[in-house]
Structure 1
Amino acid sequence: MEFYSSPIWISLKVSFIATIITVILGILAAKWITDYKGKMKGILDAILTLPLVLPPTVIGFFLLILLGRNGPIGEFLIKFDKNLIFSWQAEVITATVVAFPLMYKTTRGAFEQIDQNVINAARTLGVAEWRIFCNIMIPLSWPGMAAGGILAFTRALGEFGATLMVAGNIPGKTQTIPIAIYFAVANGEMDKALKLVLLIVGISMIVIVLTNLWSDYQLKFTSNSRRD
């Protein structure tokens, strides 16, 4: 039982924390790029999207360079007797990096679908930019942001390659469900691997179904409010 509970707990903990961070950073980055009018927009967008197309081993390599004892972040943390490599915090960072582009691209697409006349009208009436963002852009972009959050969570939940490089396979500490599946198969423990596979599929399906139900409820609530 301990074999199953440990990867489950670690995976859910890492995925939820990474999703929260990803949603916040993704929304802020999407808002920034949407408003940005400079010549570097294409390059900045490419940099923010890059983890989506890079192989997991490449992402893991870059994170090892940054977070390792000789890297800029790792060397700084060593001064405080902290080490991120082979820790669950490293898994959160890895999951956030690989899931971020999905949240960013989906949210940016939702922002760009908003009728610009609505935003311009609010600005003409003297509405502050932060209120436009919170009271107009966020509500109108909710379905896209919810979709981005779902994709980010499932991507974080299924992350394997980069996580294995940065956090390793330490049972009870860094062994997530995907890593446990891999090593169960490698050891010929197919029954254990199958149970974990079914578990991660079930978790992903539950998250998607619940989010879809919530989105449908929000749409119906909004429609009824407009009629009233």
Structure 2
Amino acid sequence: MAKGKTELSKAAVFIDAENQSDLNPDTLMQLLSQLDVVERHVYADWRNHRLDHLVEELHDLGFELHYTWSGPKLGDRKNEADQQMAKGIQCVVERNPYIETIVIISGDHFFTRTVQRLRQSGKYVIVAATPRRVSKTLCNTADRYLPLGKVARWIQSLDQAENTSPYMTFRFAAQKSGVRPSNLERLIRQGIVIQERRTNPQWGEKREVYLNRDAYAVQATLGFAA
């Protein structure tokens, strides 16, 4: 799975839960199945109820949950979880020098320096995050980027549909890709999909749609970001 690394490379996984609150832990571990994950850590201020659904799933998968206090009011102290996670990565690497691969589940630019230091010390670094919330600099600094989440799956499905037909109406794109019309509308609003209305005297107005390949979320997901 990890390009440039043999299968069952010893790995440590670190999750910035508040940055990736829609994470599917089971899908994540399937993506990392060719790594021998020997350390699993997740950081968050667990007072955040948006993360309640993750607690049991991550615990069942063997993750150690770290509580990071973000102030008297939730979120008052920005980057607290990021700072604690960066320290945790350093501690794990120093304590377990045999670990070859570090997987960082976050799109936060904060971790760019951490990734740089890890690579300088000879570690292979994978960054995994939803493409709409990943720093371009962070993504480009890592050895590999893994797109996560629904938006990444929708982009991949639409790309496959475009490869079978250079011209796609809105209805055809939804049917061929399996992306629900409401979600396709959402991608249009986010600038990930471009919509053009074309009128023909014979068949009237049609909505043509196609991926916006200038959008960084599309570039990162499909692997041609510069």
- Which of the five TM-score ranges fits, normalised by the shorter chain? under 0.3
Q: What TM-score, normalized by structure 1, do the two folds share?
A: 0.26
Structure number with the higher strand fraction is: 2
Q: What TM-score, normalized by structure 2, do the two folds share?
A: 0.26
Structure number with the higher helix fraction is: 1
